[in-house]
Amino acid sequence: MFCTIYSGGLDGIGAYLVQVEVDISTGLPGFGMVGSLSGEVREARERVQVALRNAGFDLPPMKITVNLAPAHIRKEGTAYDLPIAIGMLAAMGYFDKTALNNVLFAGELGLDGEIKPVRGIFPIVQEAGKSGMKCCIVSQQNAREGALAGDMDVRGAENINQVVDFLQESNEKRDWILPRVVETVGATREQLQEESLDFADVCGQEGAKRAAEIAAAGFHNLLMVGQPGAGKSMIAKRIPGIMPPLTRKESMEVSAVYSVAGLLKDSQPLVTKRPFQSPHHTVTMAALTGGSGVPRPGIMSLAHRGVLFLDELPEFSRATLDCMRQPLEDREVHLAKAYGNVTYPADFMLVCAMNPCVCGYYPDRNRCRCTEGSIRKYLGRVSGPVLDRIDLCVEILPVNITKLRQPKGESSAAIRERVMKARRRQEERFCGTACHFNGDMKTAEIERYCSLGPAEQKVMEKAYETMRFSARGYHRILRVARTIADLAGEEQIREEHLLEAVCYRAGDRIYWGGGDRI
Amino acid sequence: MSDKYDYWLHHLPGVGERTIRKLLAVFSKPEEIYERLISPGAGKAERQKEFEGILTGKQKEALAACTKSWSLEEEYEKLAEMGIQFLTFQDLMYPQRLKEIPDPPFGLYVRGNLPKENVLSVAVIGARECSEYGRFVGQELGKTLGEKGVQVISGMARGIDGISQAAALDAGGISFGVLGCGVDICYPSQNKRLYERLLTQGGILSPYIPGTMPKAPLFPPRNRIVSGLADALIVVEARQKSGTLITVDMALEQGREVYVVPGRLTDRLSDGCNRLIKQGAGILLSPEDFLTEMSDNFPDKFVLCSENSSGKTNYEPFSMSKEERIIYDSLDLTPKAVNQICIDSQTKLSYLQVQQILIRFCLIGAAKQPVPGFYAAVHPPQK
């Protein structure tokens, strides 16, 4: 009596099919499980035995062997409980094995036979669809998440008896037992919440708002330097709101990440809002990258397609910041763990905020008495390679009291409108290339798309002399100028675009340029 | 001329200026003290008596031990190898101005040159964490003094000290730095370039033996020498409680003239200066005005050596649009934020337009951005 059942395992934010093979044969009574199993998969043995007994199924005193194939990949998680139980029942002949054709099972069992949700259902169902499966049976709480994958026939069950009844019935009556779940995407409470964080609430701060707009338009990383209480966090939290809404494809990607992380909500399985992650500065490298014992998407991946906000940048440990270098470059996190390599997406926009010195009030010398040495030391805590990835640097100045009383500023919707226009220009420009946004441009693309006229060339030379920036700084200015021109709807980068771009890097030499001031 | 015995006496640990003075009152020469400490000749009781009231028995034992491990010749030669000149107040070379002050330091180490006696020397001092205003005034002062060949004395510290000294050197002048550590140590290290230039274009002086690391208690005696070497003292910027004011007290004790750069009531960095003015210090209206007063007070020391500059800073004229003119006129030496400039100039231009004009000014050198996001004029408004 042998039976094969399909289930799924997670690999990064993707999945692979697992064949659960159950064999019940004569021999010394016993229950053995093989197939490179981790601790929690091994525990399935006890759960399945008790759950089946409590659900009213008697286990025969025979030798039961379970194998999870492919046996060379290490299996994690509790999703194999349900397929193992179903496999045993099939092997015992509770229902026709043809009922199991092209059906995938994933779910955890309680001791009373209840089916509990597991993480990563979304990518598993997606993979099932790609591999030609017709139906997926998962926990009731996972059903809507699974239905996100599209055309797949997803059924949510509350307990194992329902599943057995379902499998025993002919096609027509089945739907009465476990109805097919269809996901409908509509406006939710969360989207409404998003709108409550509007740029209209930010008074004054024209410079910072403009920088945020440019950053959102060109997917540039942004650094805000300013006094405590000037509104750095306030602005950062509103940046996802001016980025274009997630496309269906992006939504699916983000949902997959959150599914694997086990963070999708039953009520709102599809992530439609751009993520905003703001880890505290004591965050560990493992939490940021996602590499603890069992790999799960870290904060960088949870910020995929959204904003990763690091407040108090110099307080982050250098090692923590440095582990962001490669993800910032590749837009992915590669984790090498004992049992294999995992890749999670991490295409986020980095937004950082910091004080200009320890006390926070430099350059107001009436309040700040930090020495130049201590200021330099404080700024020096920020790793250079991370700074290199930041295209825009803007100073947030304390808001004048008269500005606080002024009428509200521009709304997020109005800014988003301009951002989307600029994005469309970039889409056309980079169609068919590896770049997506101006922020991604490397030297070759910059040379191709950021050509300067003679007058602009002169401005650049002049700036190069006065500001003494590096070759990297030169490229950063061109990248940002490209986005500014896109926002203005112009194909050619003009002098005013360059001048504005220069403003966003003018602080470099003074903040991080070293000691040319006595 | 100082000799190896002087150097030996000065290096002794625990023997300060006061002890040296007492010892020299009893013994005529350091050589004699050395002999008495080291020679086993005379009876113990007798030797004990000689140092009575100056050194305790224990101190003396320690000094004798220390003396035995000190090789007179070798150590003295090392000084010469390092290019360090050692002077005591009995030396002819010892600066005359220092000899005039109460309790001149016993020893003085010099790298480079000594200040000339017959040339006016002025100490320019001020806050380490100075404002843009202080930076500008320090530079202008250093430049004018340097051009007129006036010797600029200062402490080579961060801020005003270093700024004015560097400006004097840039203008082809001479300057002297008095350190609170050994002359072979550059403190603060970021003034390394200034330190090296002072070696050729002036001198580095210190009352501490080479190798002494900078420590807080070493600085007030250093300040005494800064004021002592100068004929007049200029305070550019000082807070209410500041090391600069200690130097001023010493300068007054030494009978030096004190001039102060006035500041605004709202600038905490000018509080000390304004208070000094209230107490009757001289007010510095401009470097030229100061020099005129100096030439009256010290006619003999006034040598106009390098009259190569036109005197006044050249303002490069450049054409400006009407809006640019409004923005330019609202700039000040004190850095202002862009939104502040928008408010001050009462212009209808947008934030972005104002920012663009400002950055254009920066590129042609009409304005600068001393701190990111803050813009300041390069020159004070013209009269």
A313-329 pLDDT, tens digit per residue, is: 999 998 998 899 899 98
Cβ pair B170, B194 in contact under 8 A: no
Q: Can you list the residues of chain A whose pLDDT is less than 70? A: 184-195, 339, 400-407, 506-518
Q: Are A420 and A451 part of one and the same domain? A: no
Residue A458 resides in a domain: yes
Tell me if B124 sits within 8 A of B146, measured CB to CB.
Answer: no
Q: Which CATH number is associated with domain B121-297?
A: 3.40.50.450
The domain segmentation of chain B, as residue ranges, is: 4-81, 121-297, 322-377
Q: Do B373 and A462 touch (CB under 8 A)?
A: no
Report which DSSP code applies to A516.
-
Instruction: Please check whether residues A423 and A451 belong to one and the same domain.
Output: no
- Domain end call among A430, A461, A483: A430
Question: Is the same domain home to A26 and A101?
Answer: yes
Residue A426 and residue A445 in one domain: no
Give the residue on B whose Cα is nearest the Cα of A512. Answer: B372
- Closest listed residue to residue A237, CA positions, set A261, A202, A272: A202
User: Which of A430, A449, A476 corresponds to the end of one domain?
Assistant: A430
> Assign residue A71 a region: left if phi > 0, alpha if psi is -120 to 50, beta otherwise?
alpha
ipTM of the complex model: 0.74
- Is B339–A400 a contact, with Cβ atoms under 8 angstroms apart? yes
User: Minimal Cα distance from B165: which residue of A?
Assistant: A518
Considering chain A, what percentage of its residues have pLDDT values greater than 70?
93
Based on the fold, state whether residues A514 and A422 are members of the same structural domain.
Answer: no
pLDDT in tens, B130-184: 888 999 999 999 999 999 999 999 999 999 999 999 999 999 999 999 999 999 9
| A325: its two tokens | 């270098």
- Measure in Å the smallest separation between the Cα of A480 and chain B Cα atoms: 15
Q: What pTM was computed for the model?
A: 0.81
Name the helix (H) or strand (E) containing A276. Answer: strand A276-277
For the segment B17-34, the average pLDDT, to the nearest whole number, is 85
pLDDT at residue number B53: 75
Q: Which domain range does residue A79 map to?
A: 2-177
CB-CB: which of B163, B352, B372 is closest to A511?
B372
What band does B36 get if pLDDT is binned at 50, 70 and 90? confident
The residue written with tokens 């996972």 in the block is A142
pLDDT band at B253 (very low <50, low <70, confident <90, very high): very high
- What is the C-alpha to C-alpha distance for residues B263 and B278, in angstroms, rounded to an integer? 12
Q: What is the pLDDT of residue A12?
A: 87
Pinpoint the alpha helices (H) of A219-260: 232-242, 248-260
A499: nearest CB among B162, B190, B359: B359
Asked if A466 lies within 8 A of B268 by C-beta distance, the reply is: no
**Residues A237 and A376 occupy one common structural domain:** yes
CB atoms within 10 A of CB B312: 8
Q: Is residue A184 part of a domain?
A: no
**Which chain A residue lies closest to B372 (C-alpha atoms)?**
A507
Residues A222 and A353 in one domain: yes
pLDDT at A265: 82
Q: Are A138 and A259 in contact (CB under 8 A)?
A: no
CA neighbor of A52 nearest in space, from A105, A92, A96, A25: A92
Q: What residues of A are in contact with residue B134 (Cβ under 8 Å)?
A: none
pLDDT digits (tens, 9 = 90+) for B327-371: 998 898 888 888 888 888 888 888 888 988 998 888 888 888 877
- One fold for both B121-297 and B322-377? no
Look at chain A and report how many structural domains it folds into.
3
In a domain? residue A103: yes
Using beta carbons and an 8 Å cutoff, which residues of B are at the interface with A? 128-131, 158-159, 162-163, 166, 188, 190-191, 194, 266-269, 335, 337-340, 343, 350-352, 355-356, 359-360, 362-365, 369-374
User: Which is more confident, B14 or B238?
Assistant: B238
Distances (CA, A) of A48 to A23, A53, A113, A430, B246: 15, 8, 8, 53, 84
CATH number of the domain enclosing A501: 1.10.8
CATH assignment of the domain containing A144: 3.30.230.10
Structural fold of domain B322-377 = Arc Repressor Mutant, subunit A (1.10.10)
Which residues in chain B touch residue A390, judged by CB atoms under 8 angstroms apart? none
Model confidence pLDDT, tens digit, residues B276-315? 999 999 999 999 999 999 988 888 887 654 454 444 555 5
Q: What is the mean pLDDT of residues B4-22?
A: 86
Residues A371 and A234 in one domain: yes
Residue A90 lies in a domain: yes
Q: What is the mean pLDDT of residues B122-136?
A: 92
